Structure formats: structure tokens, C-alpha cells
Amino acid sequence: MATPPAEAQQLIRQYKDSAAANILQGRPEEALADYRKVLELTPHEASARLKVAELLAQLGHREEAVREFHYLAIRYAAEGNSIHAIAACKLILAIDPHHAETQENLAGLIAMQSAEERPRTGEPEPATPLFSKLPRDVFLALIDLLEMRRVHGGEHIITEGERGHSMFILVQGTVRVVHTPENAPPRTLAELAEGSFFGEMGLMSDAPRMASVIAIRDCTLFEVTREMLAQLGARFPAFEQVVQQFYKDRLLDNLLASNPVFQPLSDEQKRAIAQRFQTRTVEPGTVLLQQGQRSQALHLLLRGRCSVVHQDPEGGERPYPDMTEGALFGEISLLLDLRVTATVRAATPCLLLVLDQETVKERVLTHPEVRRALTHLSRERLDRTAAMLAEGAEVRGSFLI
């Protein structure tokens, strides 16, 4: 006779609590028995089956552990959840590096990336924007290099101000993104769930981390390092183009979501604008904006560093802080038809994304809330810059360009 649903849920909770207690007390055999009872009541619960697989591996039951991980990998892949499928496959390979079926599953995951081939469940699916754009052979090479990391709750994964060299994919757990302004308390910017990517700025550039990422609870992650990218780039010349496109898309997503100029636009309008950004490469010394002239385009700095200088009426020059990767400039002058107040030059070889004046006028300026945001932003920048120049102070932060 079937167990009534309410009673079954109570039993499941009791078995899980018992399993957790047994793990804490160093009794993996008892914990395994508890989780097996959970699976008798709910055979399709992936989290319980994952615990069974992990405990089997811990106890040295290699073949049984591989079978359970293999079941999970196939299930995750069929659901379009490639990050968890890859994690299950990596756990199999840690037990048996020559497991042929796992290698075949990894190759088959590429076919699961397109939305057209995924089951239409109506549920949001984890995004895998980097994986989905990789050719099959490159994908397999990257998976072979990936290493899983486990971090404890409260541990820093990324620390603000440090130089970064990697990005992360959150397989399990949740993390908090925290920024600490100068002379101000820390501020939470976001909480990220399983399937999230973060840290790509550190992967693609030598810029300091702009925020800390802290594990809220125990987490499992994939780490993609700059060394991995170099190895893959040497073997697959087209790989760098894929990564650059991924980086461009991520920067544009962040820009369009967070910049007050674009926030009033709909998602459809933002997507249309993102497609119009063009890539531009310039050499050191190239003038991107000239003081006293009007901007002809909106610029987003992808790679490199730009110097910014204001020339006063007496001919003296006042340097402003350099612009680093991720900086947006030229938008106030362009959108409000004002003359820029400083000259911007490429201090190093630079890669930029550029949005032309015509697109801005046709697709951005027509929105009344955008114009209001621009007017407010330009007044703030003008007042701040004027006050600092009048006081002879060093100019920090935003200025009108």
C-alpha cells in the first residue's frame, strides 16, 4: 500500500535529518542507508541520489558510485542542465578516468545547448553562455581542463581589489556579491544562484576585482583560469574569438542592466541596441574624445587603459584618473549634444565597443525617461567637476565626457 503524501513527506524529512546527523558524527554507512530510504519514497529526487553517489564513492564502492553519477549525468543533460551534467561527469572521471560512456556523454552535451532541442518544460533553464558557443572539440578540451572547487559558507571566492586571473561557474550553493565603497560600509549588490557565471572581468583583463564574492553556504564551483584559456587558444585558434564574444556580451548585459541611461528601456530594446555595438581596436596615443568637441559615439572600454586630461584656459593640463576596462564614456556629450570637458587618449593598445550616434538618436533618445536620467546625470557630473576644479582639488570619479 502506498504511503500517503503527507506521511511520506514527513518520513523523507526524518530520513534526511538523520542522514545529516550521521554525516556530522562520521557514520557514512548509516547516512547512506538513510538516503536510500529517501529514494525508496521519492526515486527521482536528484539531490538525494547525488548524496547516495557521493557516499558510495567515499565508502569505496566505486562501481555503484559511477552508476549513480552516470544516471544523474544523463538526467541532467536530458533536462538541459548542462552545468550539473558536466559536474556529474567530472565526478565519474575522478573515480574512473577512462570511463568511456562519460566521454560520450560529454560530447553529447553540446547537442543539448540549443534551446530548440531542449524539452519545453516552462521552467527557466540554467544559462551556459560560454559552453553553448564552443565547437565540440573545444568544449571537450575545456571540460578536460576544468577543476571543481568546494568552498565553505563565509569563505571569500573573490576579494575586492585583488588582481584576478579566473572566472567561476556556480554548480551548487549560493553566493553574495559585496562592494565596499571608500569610507563606507559594505553593500550587497546581488545574490547569485546555481548556474551563475562571475569573475569574467578578472579572466579577460588584469583589472582589480570590483567587488567581493562570498559563499553564503557551502558551494561547488568550476574555475576557468587564464592559463586554461592560453592552452586552448594555442590548440584552437578560433577559441579566442568565442571568448571575446562571450566577454563582450557579458559586459553589454551588465552595462544595459545597470547604467541609468539604459535602465528605462525594455529588454527587447536593450537586445536591439546590444546588436548595434561595433568593435574598435586603437593604438596608444589615439584620441578618442577631444576637449571642446562633441562626441560622435558612445564608447565602452573592453581592454586596455585610457588617459584623461583637462586643459585649462591658461594652457595648463590637469590629469584625471585613468579609465580602465569596463568604463563607459562619451554618453553625456553625445546624448545631450554638449562639448566634452576633457581629452581621452588610449594609453595602451585598447579594444572598445562603440555605439554610433545614429543608433543612439534613433533607439535611445526617443525614450523620455532616458532623457530625464541623462539630464540628472549630466548636472551631477558638471557640479562635481566644477567644484573640484574651483577648489584646485584632484578630480576623482565621474566627470562630464
CA 138, distance to chain mean position in Å, is 20
Q: Which domain holds residue 209?
A: 147-258
Nearest to 400 by CA among 392, 390, 386: 386
Residue 370, domain member (yes or no): yes
Nearest to 381 by CA among 317, 348, 346, 335: 335
Nearest to 15 by CA among 29, 41, 32, 35: 35
Residue 88, domain member (yes or no): yes
Query: Do residues 315 and 238 both lie within one domain?
Result: no
When computed from its CA atoms, the radius of gyration of the chain, rounded to whole angstroms, is 26
Q: Tell me 129's DSSP state.
A: T
Residue 225, domain member (yes or no): yes
Residue 315, domain member (yes or no): yes
- Give 109: exposed, middle or buried? Use CB within 10 Å, 0-12, 13-18, 19+: buried
Residue 133, domain member (yes or no): no
Residue 142, domain member (yes or no): no
Run of H or E including 272: helix 267-274
Query: Do residues 320 and 360 both lie within one domain?
Result: yes
Question: What is the Cα–Cα distance from 158 to 155, expressed in whole angstroms?
Answer: 9
Total tally of structural domains belonging to the chain: 3
Question: What is the Cα–Cα distance from 200 to 224, expressed in whole angstroms?
Answer: 9
- Quote the cell numbers at residue 77: 543533460
Q: What is the pLDDT along the chain (401 residues), one digit of tens a residue?
A: 455 577 888 999 999 999 999 999 999 999 999 999 999 999 989 999 999 999 999 999 999 999 999 999 888 887 878 888 889 988 998 898 887 777 676 666 655 554 444 443 444 444 455 676 677 788 778 888 888 999 999 999 999 888 888 989 999 999 999 988 777 888 898 899 988 889 887 777 766 787 899 999 999 999 989 898 889 988 988 787 788 777 778 778 877 877 777 878 888 888 888 888 888 889 999 999 999 999 999 898 877 889 999 888 777 788 888 888 778 888 878 877 788 888 999 998 888 889 998 888 888 878 888 777 777 766 776 666 666 556 554 444 444 46
Query: Do residues 197 and 297 both lie within one domain?
Result: no
- Give 289: exposed, middle or buried? Use CB within 10 Å, 0-12, 13-18, 19+: buried
Q: How many Cα atoms are found within 13 Å in the side-chain-facing hemisphere of 283?
A: 0
Nearest to 96 by CA among 65, 122, 117: 65
Query: Do residues 65 and 35 both lie within one domain?
Result: yes
- Quote the cell numbers at residue 188: 550587497
pTM: 0.68
